[in-house]
């Protein structure tokens, strides 16, 4: 009997939080029974394309909704379903735009149509954005059979208070693969630190994520410039790719930060890298539940996150610290200095068990996601 297929709608196949979460689920599936296909935009690097093909999946590229228009986008998704199905479910991870994929799935007779919220955008008050979100919410309410969110706050943001309070939103935590977070060998750690331009006395401040506006990676350059003014022996490292990379590189040159700011590009050794950092920062303008914050704590590394990150991301290891962006680079550096002076890295077994106890183990969460499809895996 052929494996049943689920079509996932994602923004890109870059190594970013949402796609990484879906790939963790895909890796844990029984591929003789269940396969994933992906609809994605040409946005950034195709980090997961080869692995998707190797696992038995397919990737279909489509224009952005803004380019195709609403009717055109629905027709594109419907055509992909018609040409490549049958599909047991369609699972959209594109927040307010997910309703259009659910609409196409409904027209195509797909019985399970899931819209999944991954961002808390309640702080965005632009009239244009709010109009789009409320339109998307109405379409989701009409065509989705299941609403999911990575956190209660992401659910409130996309689906509204009434849907959450009436139990119409299922919270499924974004799990991480814990297998690589045992203690990194000292030699590997030293080699990674040296590749980032750090000496034995340097403090290494890390950013892991997409280089895109909502993630606010430019804040790292602000911190680096302030650290340089203060004469601090800090190095700032950005791991990831995205449409802001060239802009950030030009800003680094303009600010004369080439010696203290390092761009690593996309990496597949995040567990080791996180253990090399002395501090991780998550300066996003808005988030759902950032994997980088979880990965930092799994590595035993202190992390400072913006106030928009929900407390659900705190693993109670004494490593999670929240701060308002209004404090600016100077305030964040001051806080980082205090935390670095007192930092203690918990034992690996304690870290990993804490994350499992909080429900963020990718292996366990994969089963929760797969159960949405009504399949036995």
In tens, the pLDDT along 228-264 reads 999 999 999 999 888 899 999 999 999 999 999 999 9
Residue-wise burial string across 2-18, b where 16 or more C-beta atoms lie within 10 A, e elsewhere = ebbbbbbbbbbbbbbbb
The three-state secondary structure class of 241 is coil
- 10 and 128 in a single domain? The answer is yes
In a domain, residue 376? The reply is: no
Q: How many CA atoms lie within 13 A of 9 on its CB side?
A: 34
Does residue 90 share a domain with residue 75? yes
- Structural domain contains residue 15: yes
Structure confidence at residue 312 as a pLDDT band (50, 70, 90): confident
Rounded average pLDDT over 263-278:
90
Predicted structure pTM score: 0.85
d(CA 221, CA 233): 15
Q: Which residue has the tokens 């253990």?
A: 275
Containing structural domain, residue 8? 4-175+361-371
> Each residue of 329-361: pLDDT tens digit?
999 999 999 999 988 889 999 999 999 999 899
Burial of 170 (0-12, 13-18, 19+ CB in 10 A): middle
Q: Flag whether 63 is in a domain.
A: yes
Query: Does residue 62 carry a pLDDT above 60?
Result: yes
Asked if 234 and 267 touch (Cβ cutoff 8 Å), the reply is: no
Question: Tokens representing 316?
Answer: 């109670």
What would the two tokens of residue 264 be?
């690593």
- Are 148 and 188 contained in the same domain? no
101 and 191, same domain (yes or no): no
The token pair at 222 is 């602000």
Regarding whether 21 and 127 lie in a shared domain, the answer is yes
Assess whether 73 and 171 both reside in one domain: yes
User: DSSP class of residue 377?
Assistant: -
Judged against a pLDDT cut of 50, whether residue 74 lies above it is answered with yes
Cis omega (within 30 of 0) on the bond before 100? no
More confident residue, 194 or 117: 117
Domain-located, residue 377: no
Q: How far apart are CA 268 and CA 266, in angstroms?
A: 7
Q: Are residues 30 and 163 in the same domain?
A: yes
Contact (Cβ atoms closer than 8 angstroms) between residue 28 and residue 6: no
Please state whether beta strands 89-92 and 169-171 pair in parallel, antiparallel, or not at all (unpaired): unpaired
Q: Across residues 46-53, what is the average pLDDT?
A: 90
Are residues 199 and 63 located together in one domain of the fold?
A: no
**Pairing, β 203-208 against β 169-171:** unpaired
Q: β-strands 58-61, 89-92: how paired?
A: unpaired
Whether residue 365 is found in the same domain as residue 271: no
Handedness of CA 161, 362, 189, 51 (dihedral sign): negative
Claim to verify: residue 171 and residue 222 sit in the same structural domain: no
Nearest Cα residue to 178 out of 92, 346, 297, 23: 297
Do 16 and 39 sit in the same domain of this protein?
yes
**Domains: count for the chain:** 2
Q: Which pLDDT band holds residue 42 (cuts at 50, 70, 90)?
A: confident
Worst-scoring range by mean pLDDT, 251-255, 306-310, 319-323? 306-310
**223 part of a folded domain:** yes
Distance, in Å, from the CA atom of 229 to the CA atom of 315, rounded to the nearest integer, reads: 34
d(CA 102, CA 53): 25
Give me the CATH number covering residue 102: 3.40.50.2000
Tell me: pLDDT of 285 over 70.
yes
Average pLDDT over residues 296-321: 93
Q: Which DSSP string do the residues of 65-83 spell out, in sequence order? A: HHHH-HHHHHHHHHHHHHH
pLDDT of residue 332: 97
Please tell me whether residues 166 and 187 are part of one structural domain.
Answer: no
Contact by Cβ (8 Å): 351, 297? yes
């Amino acid at each position: 009997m052929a494996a049943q297929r689920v079509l996932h709608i994602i923004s890109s196949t870059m190594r970013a939080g949402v796609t990484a979460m879906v790939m963790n689920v895909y890796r844990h599936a029984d591929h003789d029974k269940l396969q994933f296909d992906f609809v994605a935009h040409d946005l950034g690097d195709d980090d997961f394309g080869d692995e998707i093909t190797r696992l038995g999946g397919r990737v279909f590229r489509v224009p952005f909704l803004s380019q195709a228009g609403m009717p055109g986008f629905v027709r594109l998704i419907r055509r992909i379903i018609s040409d490549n199905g049958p599909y047991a479910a369609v699972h959209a991870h594109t927040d307010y735009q997910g309703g259009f994929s659910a609409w196409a799935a409904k027209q195509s007779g797909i019985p399970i149509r899931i819209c999944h919220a991954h961002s808390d955008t309640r702080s965005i008050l632009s009239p244009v954005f709010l109009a789009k979100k409320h339109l998307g919410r109405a379409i989701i309410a009409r065509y989705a059979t299941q609403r999911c969110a990575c956190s209660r706050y992401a659910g409130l943001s996309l689906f509204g208070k009434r849907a959450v309070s009436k139990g119409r939103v299922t919270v499924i935590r974004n799990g991480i693969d814990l297998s690589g977070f045992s203690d990194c060998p000292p030699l590997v750690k030293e080699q990674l630190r040296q590749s980032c331009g750090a000496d034995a006395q340097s403090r290494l401040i890390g950013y892991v994520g997409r280089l895109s506006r909502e993630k606010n990676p430019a804040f790292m350059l602000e911190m680096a410039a302030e650290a340089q003014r203060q004469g601090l022996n800090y190095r700032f490292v950005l791991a990831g790719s995205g449409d802001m990379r060239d802009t950030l590189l030009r800003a680094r040159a303009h600010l004369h930060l080439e010696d203290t700011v390092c761009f690593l590009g996309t990496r597949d050794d995040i567990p080791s890298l996180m253990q090399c950092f002395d501090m991780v920062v998550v300066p996003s303008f808005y988030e759902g539940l950032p994997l980088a914050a979880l990965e930092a704590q799994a590595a035993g590394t202190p992390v400072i996150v913006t106030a928009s990150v929900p407390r659900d991301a705190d693993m109670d290891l004494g490593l999670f610290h929240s701060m308002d962006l209004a404090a600016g680079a100077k305030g964040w550096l001051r806080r980082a200095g205090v935390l670095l002076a007192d930092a203690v890295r918990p034992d690996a077994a304690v870290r990993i068990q804490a994350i499992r106890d909080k429900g963020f183990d990718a292996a366990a969460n994969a089963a929760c996601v797969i159960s949405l499809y009504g399949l036995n895996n």
